[in-house]
Amino acid sequence: MINLPETRSSIKVPELTPFGRVVILEDPFLKDPVTQWLAHLNLCSPLKGAEIWYQTFYKGTNLLGLKFNRNTLEQWLASACDAPIGGLIGPLIRMYEDEASFKSCGVLSENNGIISRKIAPIKPYMAIGYGVWLIGLMESIAKPGTQVTLTELEQKCGWITITGWNPMETVAVLNIIENKGILSVDRQMNPWIFKAKDLSENLWPRTYEDLL
């Protein structure tokens, strides 16, 4: 929800992203599931995400799946991050189990050493948020307004991997997003082509529209 300037300087002043600005106005305590899920997806991003989240929800997906042993995750993160075994996993899981943190989305939960991962919910109230998030990803890899294929967006941004959706779930999500009129999907082409109807910065204020 914040960006740091890329210019080299000893002093860096964080700047709110368009998503951050709408959260400050609509959900300043970060309690709504829409806020928490979109923030989670940003943490997992191969482009600008946080290392532990990127390794767990993107790079480690094939190894871990949706249910995995705590030891497997500890060993994976230790290897991927060149860190001691067990030194990274605690804060990651607690974040999603703590009422004061991201329990509303509850992406991870642990029971007797087995960790379960939830996929991003396929709900109409999430559609605008997902759509604007996808448009933002498109803008990060191509000039705004440029058409981007489903495959290219996955290869460069991992949007299907980090949400955890299977092919049928991906189609269902695209249907509810397209119904909001912010993103069109050309299904006549292979792979499918996405076209944004507006810039993401103009659309972020609509994120909580269906929660009113």
**pLDDT tens digits, one per residue of 41-98:** 999 999 989 999 999 999 999 999 999 999 999 999 999 988 888 777 888 999 999 9
- Tokens 């009113």 correspond to 212
Enumerate the β-bridge partners of residue 180: none
| Per-residue pLDDT, 3 | 55
Determine the CATH number of domain 124-211.
1.10.10
Angle, CA of 167, 169 and 174, to the nearest 5°: 95
Q: Which of 10-19, 111-120, 132-141, 150-159 is least confident?
A: 10-19
What are the residue ranges of CATH 1.10.10 in the chain? 124-211
How far is the C-alpha of 74 from the C-alpha of 195, rounded, in Å? 40
Helix (H, G, I), strand (E, B) or coil at 184: strand
Is 101's pLDDT higher than 90?
A: yes
Mean pLDDT of the chain: 91
Instruction: Tell me, yes or no, if the pTM score tops 0.75.
Output: yes
